[in-house]
Structure 1
Amino acid sequence: MSAIPDKHIVHALLLDGAGGAQALDVDEIPARIAAGEPVWVHLEAVHPDTPQWLGQHLPILDALMIDALVAEETRPRAIEHDNTILLFLRGVNLNENAEPEDMVSIRMCIGEKFCVSLRRRPLKAVSDIVQRLQRGNGPGAIPDLVNDLAGTLFDRMEPVLSELDERTDNLEELVADKPDAAIRHEIVSLRKRAILLRRYLAPQREALAKLQSDRHFGEDDILLVREASDRLQRLLEDLDAAREHATLLQEEVFSVQNEAINDRMYLLAMISALFLPLGFLTGLFGINVGGLPGVENDKAFLWFCAGMTVIAIGVLIWMRKRRWL
């Protein structure tokens, strides 16, 4: 379990409208928001002071909305609430020793001139936006910030999906060469990863669609949101293609393994058919009763072995003629 951070505010930035930002002190934040200046505050959702801060500085939010913003588990969605919109998105987990499909959520309360975002775990996309603001080529307004966050989330997803597709292609070659249990487990792992990724990516499309109707977004901003939604749709299509590819590979592995099992069973059946008449004869001549032919003949055993050899050869010829071998 991760430790609770020391501070509930990760950063507070005042956008300058030209791609840069100014860091704000904690005491400055309420006045800047009240003045209608473009402020971005990023909070730690796990910190115990965060709900109190939200209730104090964003009175427009009721207790249910605050609980949704700091909840442990969230689904991607968009909720309109008075003059704000709550937006919940997820990005791939690129933290150290983490699995990408263990997706990290970002929760946002978006107003006309402010954005308060929350995290439970660090998200690389947020760090990317902060670095761009420090270099002076970041978003200039709150709608730009939201669009850039969504776009950066998808930028981070593309390499993960490309790797998934590449691993699937590599597995296809291995399946053709030697489909073993290790490959089957790898295919199952890929399918599981694709399913988990799609579980959180698909609802984000509806969230972005709802964002397009928000009155805080101008026509140009809506076009950017629509472009982000189109990118997400392409990612979903690629993810579905990778999942279907993995499913076909899994079926191919099962088919090859079943064919190998059938070949072994067929071989055992042919061996049994070959030895069936021989076993009958050895059992017949092995009974311990009087009157068996050849009992007094020294060469009877050799003649018996020769006869069984002829029978075995005859059975093999018969099987070949019937195309069983």
Structure 2
Amino acid sequence: MNQGLIHALLLDGRGGARELDPGQLARWQPEQGCLWLHFDYRSDRSRDWLQRHSGLDRVATAALLSEATRPRATSHGHGLLIALREVNQNPGADPEDMVALRIWIEPHRIVSTRNRPLASEDMLKQRLAQQKGPLNTDALLADLVAELIRPLADIVDELDDAIDELETRFLDNSLAEARGELLTQRRQLIQFRRYLSPQREAIARLLADKDNGWLSHEVKTSLRETQDSLHRYLENMEALRERAMALDDARANQLSEQLNKRMFVLSVITALFLPLSFMTGLLGVNLAGIPLADSPAAFGIFVLTLTLLVMGQIWYFRRRKWI
């Protein structure tokens, strides 16, 4: 099981924890303290231990091993089944490619699974090593949920700065080349809201569920503060999404206006040269009876006529305020 077990930590009730080896884990009893088991569910050994030795029923085991998860929180038997997501902070990964965390929590034990490293788990392990961690399982749950959404503050600030820069470029008339960046920002905001909105509902469900009365008042207060923070982040993301949409519309209007101006210039040029083309075509036919065909002043008169025609067109266009 070691290959799939990331850690087995026994909380000491004073903010610290110690690692249990397989033998100590097999002999663990709730009276010894709160236990946090964390697995990589991709491992066959993890699957085997959860199915055969965890003491969990099929529903809880299937939830911990599920590939596809949606944020949720439901009471099941004497514990809670929770699925949450964290911003992907692994090197080279897209932040919006969220990492799922599946949790089974009961009064003296937490069993969690994931398939990619989580920054929140490392942060909690560091705090436990420094004797500054949670004292029991419900406090561990509250701290874990808080750590899962903590990176959103930096993400929202980065997205806000990116939108501000794009708005500045729009004012400088240099946004046309940055359409890809704008689409990237909109895609990120849409994906964040898609995954985080259910997470807010899961935390609300966790707070409203009357079957989890063993969660302390302090833990529920902490969860409520986390829910408020998540709600605020989602509101900020919605505002950023609306700004991005307005900026995209403004960019499209700007491009349309530029295209209309170019088409107008081409239309004016066409209007000016259309009568000239008609006159030159008419007088260029090789037929008898062309006026002034034998006159040495014919070319000058023709050029003067064309000049007057163009000047007349320009005067008419200006009078109609077309140019």
- Post-superposition CA distance 1:274-323 (Å, at most 9, x none): 11221221121112210001110112112101110111011111111111
Displacement after TM superposition at 1:58 (Å) = 2.8
Residue among 6, 12, 15 paired with 1:16: 12
Name the counterpart of 2:28: 32
- Post-superposition CA distance 1:91-134 (Å, at most 9, x none): 11110111100011111100111111111000111100100110
Name the counterpart of 2:171: 176
Query: Which one is further off, 53-62 or 245-254?
Result: 53-62
Normalised to the residue count of structure 2, the TM-score between the two structures is 0.95
Structure 2 residue 241 is matched with structure 1 residue 243: yes
CA contact (8 A) 2:30 2:108 kept: no
Point out where structure 1 has 5 or more consecutive residues left out of the alignment. Answer: none
Residue among 105, 114, 118 paired with 1:119: 114
Secondary structure of the 1:49 match is: helix
CA contact (8 A) 1:14 1:40 kept: yes
Report the CA distance shift for 1:6/1:99 in structure 2 as closer, same or farther (over 3 A). farther
Structure 2 residue 72 is matched with structure 1 residue 69: no
Query: Which one is further off, 186-195 or 272-281?
Result: 272-281
Name the counterpart of 1:234: 232
Displacement after TM superposition at 1:36 (Å) = 6.5
Name the counterpart of 2:95: 100
- Post-superposition CA distance 1:123-170 (Å, at most 9, x none): 111100100110111111111111111111111121012101110111
CA contact (8 A) 1:175 1:183 kept: no
Query: Structure 2 counterpart of 1:25, which letter?
Result: D
CA contact (8 A) 1:12 1:40 kept: yes
CA contact (8 A) 2:8 2:37 kept: yes
CA contact (8 A) 1:89 1:107 kept: yes
Report the CA distance shift for 1:130/1:300 in structure 2 as closer, same or farther (over 3 A). same
Q: Displaced runs of 4+ in structure 1, greater than 6 A?
A: none
Residue among 220, 223, 235 paired with 1:222: 220
Structure 2 residue 148 is matched with structure 1 residue 153: yes
Residue among 20, 40, 46 paired with 2:42: 46
Q: Number of paired residues?
A: 320
Name the counterpart of 2:272: 274
Determine the C-alpha separation between the residues in 1 that align with 2:298 and 2:37: 102
Query: Structure 1 counterpart of 2:316, which letter?
Result: W
Taking every aligned residue pair, what percent have the same amino acid on both sides?
Answer: 37
Normalised to the residue count of structure 1, the TM-score between the two structures is 0.95
Name the counterpart of 2:281: 283
Name the counterpart of 2:82: 87
Displacement after TM superposition at 1:11 (Å) = 0.6
Determine the C-alpha separation between the residues in 1 that align with 2:214 and 2:272: 84
CA contact (8 A) 2:78 2:106 kept: yes
Displacement after TM superposition at 1:242 (Å) = 1.0
Residue among 307, 311, 314 paired with 1:313: 311
Report the CA distance shift for 1:33/1:281 in structure 2 as closer, same or farther (over 3 A). farther
CA contact (8 A) 2:85 2:100 kept: yes
Displacement after TM superposition at 1:30 (Å) = 4.0
Determine the C-alpha separation between the residues in 2 that align with 1:92 and 1:251: 29
Structure 2 residue 185 is matched with structure 1 residue 187: no
Report the CA distance shift for 1:7/1:300 in structure 2 as closer, same or farther (over 3 A). same
Query: Structure 2 counterpart of 1:270, which letter?
Result: V
Determine the C-alpha separation between the residues in 2 that align with 1:15 and 1:166: 41
Residue among 113, 128, 135 paired with 1:133: 128
CA contact (8 A) 1:198 1:236 kept: yes
RMSD over aligned CA atoms reads 1.5
Secondary structure of the 1:32 match is: coil
Determine the C-alpha separation between the residues in 2 that align with 1:44 and 1:233: 30
Determine the C-alpha separation between the residues in 2 that align with 1:176 and 1:23: 57
Determine the C-alpha separation between the residues in 1 that align with 2:203 and 2:77: 18
- Post-superposition CA distance 1:163-221 (Å, at most 9, x none): 01110111001112124443111111100011111111000111111211322312221
Displacement after TM superposition at 1:56 (Å) = 2.7
Determine the C-alpha separation between the residues in 2 that align with 1:281 and 1:33: 105
Name the counterpart of 1:198: 193
Displacement after TM superposition at 1:79 (Å) = 2.3
